[in-house]
Amino acid sequence: MLTVGDHIPQFKLNACVSLEKGKEFKEITNTTYPKKWLVLFFWPKDFTFVCPTEIAEFAKRNGDFKERDAQLLGGSTDNEFSHLAWRQQHADLKNLPFPMLHATPEFATALGILHKQAGVALRATLIVDPQGVIRFVSVNDLSVGRNVDEILRTLDALQTDELCPCNWQPGEKTLQPA
């Protein structure tokens, strides 16, 4: 599994970006959002139970990520056509403000997030800085959803470029070495 300090591999992935006829799909690359932090989050399968709760929460908090100059990119190993069908059928997914990537098995393998037995993406989150360096990695069991507040808090801490103590929150003092 790639980890903190590794560079995100170059990628070129198809994504579902809209429900508007003729504008449903777009190719997303590692350079589509220059000078932005990337928050990549992956889920195991479309048309499941835990996944839409997370995707909908990320969508609700999209503005918070944008305020931090970060672009959300969600995805699973399901293709962009599956993502489109799911968005069309699930009320909480219709108006997503971020791309739903087709994280090919090759890309999931390159990241080290392909579940060995199930062959699907693990429930993984990566925060990548504007230079393409992975600064945070978290992986949950397939059955356990993420905490979007904690991902935002971690992004805030990383963006201070300072030493942040346990349970640090934005606005609190950072640590100053003596």
Residues with a known catalytic role:
51
Are 174 and 162 contacting, i.e. CB atoms less than 8 angstroms apart?
A: yes
Q: Which long-range contacts (CB under 8 A, 24 or more apart) does 114-117 make?
A: 114/77, 115/44, 115/142
Strands 123-128 and 134-140: antiparallel
Q: How far is CA 1 from CA 36, 144, 151, in A?
A: 23, 19, 19
Rounded to whole angstroms, the Cα distance separating 127 from 134 reads: 6
What DSSP designation does 143 have? T
Which amino acid is it at 119?
G
Closest CA to 98 of 53, 50, 126, 62: 62
CA dist., res. 85 & res. 93, Å (int): 10
